[in-house]
Amino acid sequence: MREIFASLVFDRREMKQRLPQDVYENLIGAMEGRQKIDSGIADTVALAMKDWAVSNGASHWAHWFHPLHEHTAEKHTAFLTADAEGAPIELFRGKDLMQSEPDASSFPSGGTRSTFEARGYSAWDPTSPAFIIKSPKGGTLCIPSVFIAYDGSPLDLKTYLLRSLDAVESRALKLLKLFGNRGVRYVRATLGGEQEFFLLDRPRAQKRPDLRFCGRTLIGSKPPRDQKMEDHYFGTIPPKVLAYMEDVQRDLARLGVDLATRHNEAARCQFEFAPNFSEANLACDQNQIIMETMRKLASQHDLRLLFHEKPFDCLNGSGKHTNFSLEDSEGRNLLKPSTNHRKNVIFLSFLTSFVLGASEYSGLLQASVSTPGNLYRLGGQEAPPFIMSVYLGDTIDRMLTAVEKAAGRDEDMPEKSTLDLGLDKLPTIIAYDSDRNRTSPIAFTGNKFEFRAPGASQAMAIPATFIFAIWAAGLEKFNEKFSAHLKKGADVLDAALATIREVSKASRKIRFEGDSYSEEWRREAEKRGIVKAETIPEGIDLFLEPKSVEMLSKLGVFTPREMEAFHTIRLEAFVNSIEIEISLLRDMMFEGFLPSISKQLKLENESIASVKDMRIPHIDAWKKHIELLAKSKAEIIVKTKELELLKEKMAELEPREHAEAIIVKALPLMKKIRELCDEAEGYISKENLAYPKYRALMSLSTQLSE
């Protein structure tokens, strides 16, 4: 792996080798966000990039970007063209590198742009390196880019993310400066996403239209040995899966992505990959690359890969735990506790700033994970609830409580001794203490926060944008208060402690150390007034909470109009996704499931007729059984038609009303149909059943019988 690592990335090593010194330095400056890219160097960089790409077999180049629908997009252009005399030349100019003009009309904009103003352009993002995606006969040089409409409004996720990263960086730098730290050149956000997924035997999974088109099962009863098979978690990875994982790891290594861990997850056929964390923008790009690579290789291994948050009703769902922190230009993690008093005060300042932001704007965190897939996942017994809270762990919680109580009066506030209580023992305590509470949506896990609510299929850029925006908002408030204390002439550490105390008190309501799955917590959260939304559409509406819109606009992350468009897109994504499920459920009923019942009825009726001259005890029970099956068929027909009609009616509604009707009317109907099917399934023979059962789907070995 070592030799191939990052061999398909135009990384700093390649740049250094292939670029003149001054060009290289300008580029690095731009990558670190210290300076703008000098347009005069674009031709030189483009030429070097092209030579490198062609020598690695690439025949095309493409601006690679993340439209608002969460997938990636690229439009390939060949390097090869003809010159004026008709002779072949390979062309890739500075202006091709800097900017490209894909037709924007088919990407979502949320109404910020009408289709006749379809023009949009993608522009090179030098902070994330270019890479080559290999194909059987060549490859494509992918240039990470932002994607913007001609009026400047973003049509992608990266632009918002970069704005949010800017916002948090400047506030973090300001805080460090207030502490008197002038040597720090930049602060960067770090991100590490743990990717959960399911792998199924492809031929069997492909027999189910629901898995093929929705990535989740719409019907299917629980297998006899369900997810509580503890032997699976961290158990031996099945050979077929391991072979796949090794291929994924090799291809990703070439793309400079190092996957640190791989293991079985809680449910059968569920697994996880976790990369080493990296700078947030790069981490989001890399998560997209991970998902694309995994998709591509799964079919080659005859596997069906599922990123859906809840592929099976009764089994654990898949999340993308999003770990995050901030790091300064010296490589210091700003969320790392320390035994040094000063450093520890800085640590607590960053920590409480995030908690403050989370407390004020928890609605945005909730909105960022209000996705169609999470509809079925959050609030289950295995995933965090839909109520946002922060868990800090015993040590930090005690420390903050001590700071809060240290003094009622400002003058005797800065109790070094109070803080020192736990400080000497801190590193060891932290190591034991962190991450014990797996029920919390946001947990401090020793030296980083972990947001556990994001779903496996989500583009990490969405939760990341809001995580860092609310952190920036928290830092902004912290800095204001801190500056005020300093102006009053307080010593730096005393001023910081006084600020930590205020901020910590102000954000208590979001902190919860107990079991977030419990009923008591729900009641307690209601009392605290932090239950913001009960359903996914209500969660999406939290994007429009006035104070959040104001904050995002002040920070320069979203204008109010952009936020409205973003809200519309999320809402449409929800509606479209459930609409597809409704159509498929309808089709699966009439094409497969209802005929299955008929076949079974025919079999039963024929066999009961064949014994009609025999005197069989309990024949009435058999007749009753047939009757029940026939009745369930009739009931499924009634409910499916009802759903069909509802779908037609809902199509006339505005998106928000449509989403509401889905929650109130469509989902209960779908649930009812599913219950009827799952019960009937138990009475249909394997031969007569149109779709493979959970039991068959859950088997990864071809030898195992269904």
Say whether 529 sits in a helix, a strand or coil.
coil
Using CB distances below 5 to 8 A depending on partner kind, what does residue 149 bind out of ligand ADP, Mg ion, none?
none
Number of neighbouring beta carbons within 10 Å of residue 530: 18
Q: Which is nearer to ligand ADP, 74 or 450 (CB)?
A: 450
Amino acid occupying residue 117: E
Closest-by-Cβ residue to Mg ion is 321
Strand boundaries in 247-319, DSSP class E:
259-264, 270-275, 278-279, 303-306
Distance CA 469, CA 471 (A): 5
- In the complex, the smallest distance separating the C-beta of residue 450 from Mg ion, rounded to whole angstroms, is 5
- In the complex, the smallest distance separating the C-beta of residue 304 from ligand ADP, rounded to whole angstroms, is 24
Q: Which is nearer to ligand ADP, 222 or 438 (CB)?
A: 438
Q: What letter does residue 195 receive in the DSSP assignment?
A: E
CA 522 to chain centre: 25
Q: Which is nearer to Mg ion, 194 or 360 (CB)?
A: 194
x-or-dash pattern for Mg ion, window 313-332, by CB under 5 A?
Answer: --------x-----------
Q: Which is nearer to Mg ion, 194 or 309 (CB)?
A: 194
- In the complex, the smallest distance separating the C-beta of residue 405 from Mg ion, rounded to whole angstroms, is 32
Using CB distances below 5 to 8 A depending on partner kind, what does residue 448 bind out of ligand ADP, Mg ion, none?
ligand ADP
Using CB distances below 5 to 8 A depending on partner kind, what does residue 325 bind out of ligand ADP, Mg ion, none?
ligand ADP
Joined together, the tokens standing for residue 493 give 């550490």
Closest-by-Cβ residue to ligand ADP is 192
Q: Which is nearer to Mg ion, 19 or 453 (CB)?
A: 453
- In the complex, the smallest distance separating the C-beta of residue 191 from ligand ADP, rounded to whole angstroms, is 5
- In the complex, the smallest distance separating the C-beta of residue 260 from ligand ADP, rounded to whole angstroms, is 6
- In the complex, the smallest distance separating the C-beta of residue 380 from ligand ADP, rounded to whole angstroms, is 18
Say whether 222 sits in a helix, a strand or coil.
coil
Number of neighbouring beta carbons within 10 Å of residue 337: 24
Q: Which is nearer to ligand ADP, 193 or 311 (CB)?
A: 193
Say whether 317 sits in a helix, a strand or coil.
coil
Among residues 364, 354, 359, the alpha carbon closest in space to that of 172 is found at 354
> Can you tell me which residue has the tokens 């089709």?
587
Q: Which is nearer to Mg ion, 452 or 693 (CB)?
A: 452
Q: Which is nearer to ligand ADP, 389 or 535 (CB)?
A: 389
Using CB distances below 5 to 8 A depending on partner kind, what does residue 99 bind out of Mg ion, ligand ADP, none?
none
- In the complex, the smallest distance separating the C-beta of residue 445 from Mg ion, rounded to whole angstroms, is 7
Distance CA 126, CA 14 (A): 14
- Assess contact for 571 and 537: CB atoms under 8 A: yes
- In the complex, the smallest distance separating the C-beta of residue 192 from Mg ion, rounded to whole angstroms, is 9
Among residues 382, 203, 211, the alpha carbon closest in space to that of 306 is found at 211
H-run or E-run covering 464: helix 461-487
Our CA angle for 3, 294, 377, nearest 5°, is 135
Among residues 540, 544, 538, the alpha carbon closest in space to that of 562 is found at 544
Q: Which is nearer to ligand ADP, 336 or 693 (CB)?
A: 336
Q: Which is nearer to ligand ADP, 435 or 675 (CB)?
A: 435
Q: Which is nearer to ligand ADP, 65 or 307 (CB)?
A: 307
- In the complex, the smallest distance separating the C-beta of residue 275 from ligand ADP, rounded to whole angstroms, is 6
Say whether 126 sits in a helix, a strand or coil.
coil
φ, ψ (nearest 5 deg) of residue 12: -60, -35
Q: Which residues contact 381 (CB under 8 A, 6 or more apart)?
A: 517
Torsion of CA 363, 365, 366, 369, to 10 degrees: 150
Burial 476-492, CB ≥16 within 10 A → b, else e: bbbbebbeebbeeebee
Using CB distances below 5 to 8 A depending on partner kind, what does residue 511 bind out of ligand ADP, Mg ion, none?
none
Sign of CA dihedral 201, 202, 207, 208: positive
The H-assigned helical ranges of 324-460 are: 341-360, 362-368, 374-377, 394-405, 416-423, 426-433
Q: Which is nearer to ligand ADP, 457 or 535 (CB)?
A: 457
Joined together, the tokens standing for residue 301 give 């291994």
- In the complex, the smallest distance separating the C-beta of residue 444 from ligand ADP, rounded to whole angstroms, is 12
Joined together, the tokens standing for residue 385 give 């609830």
- In the complex, the smallest distance separating the C-beta of residue 272 from Mg ion, rounded to whole angstroms, is 9
- Contact region for Mg ion (CB under 5 A) — 123-131, 150-158, 190-198, 523-531? 190-198
- Assess contact for 348 and 422: CB atoms under 8 A: no
Distance CA 315, CA 233 (A): 13
φ, ψ (nearest 5 deg) of residue 169: -65, -45
Burial class (CB in 10 A: 0-12, 13-18, 19+), 97: buried
- In the complex, the smallest distance separating the C-beta of residue 277 from ligand ADP, rounded to whole angstroms, is 3
Among residues 566, 550, 660, the alpha carbon closest in space to that of 154 is found at 566
- Contact region for Mg ion (CB under 5 A) — 189-197, 400-408, 462-470, 693-701? 189-197
Using CB distances below 5 to 8 A depending on partner kind, what does residue 191 bind out of Mg ion, ligand ADP, none?
ligand ADP
Using CB distances below 5 to 8 A depending on partner kind, what does residue 435 bind out of ligand ADP, Mg ion, none?
ligand ADP
Q: What letter does residue 9 receive in the DSSP assignment?
A: B
Distance CA 516, CA 52 (A): 52
- In the complex, the smallest distance separating the C-beta of residue 343 from ligand ADP, rounded to whole angstroms, is 16
- In the complex, the smallest distance separating the C-beta of residue 333 from ligand ADP, rounded to whole angstroms, is 5
- Assess contact for 412 and 363: CB atoms under 8 A: no
Q: Which is nearer to Mg ion, 266 or 584 (CB)?
A: 266
Using CB distances below 5 to 8 A depending on partner kind, what does residue 274 bind out of ligand ADP, Mg ion, none?
ligand ADP
**163 is a site residue for Mg ion (CB under 5 A):** no
φ, ψ (nearest 5 deg) of residue 100: -140, 165
Q: Which is nearer to Mg ion, 311 or 446 (CB)?
A: 446
- In the complex, the smallest distance separating the C-beta of residue 221 from ligand ADP, rounded to whole angstroms, is 31
Which residues of this protein are in contact with ligand ADP, per CB under 6 A?
190-192, 194, 261, 274-277, 321, 323-325, 333, 435, 447-448, 450
- Assess contact for 601 and 633: CB atoms under 8 A: yes
Q: Which is nearer to ligand ADP, 365 or 589 (CB)?
A: 365
Q: Count residues near Mg ion (CB under 5 A).
A: 2
Q: Which is nearer to Mg ion, 194 or 681 (CB)?
A: 194
Distance CA 536, CA 540 (A): 6
Restricting to residues 192-251, which ones interact with Mg ion according to CB under 5 A? 194
- In the complex, the smallest distance separating the C-beta of residue 319 from ligand ADP, rounded to whole angstroms, is 11
Q: What letter does residue 378 receive in the DSSP assignment?
A: T
Residues that bind Mg ion (CB under 5 A): 194, 321
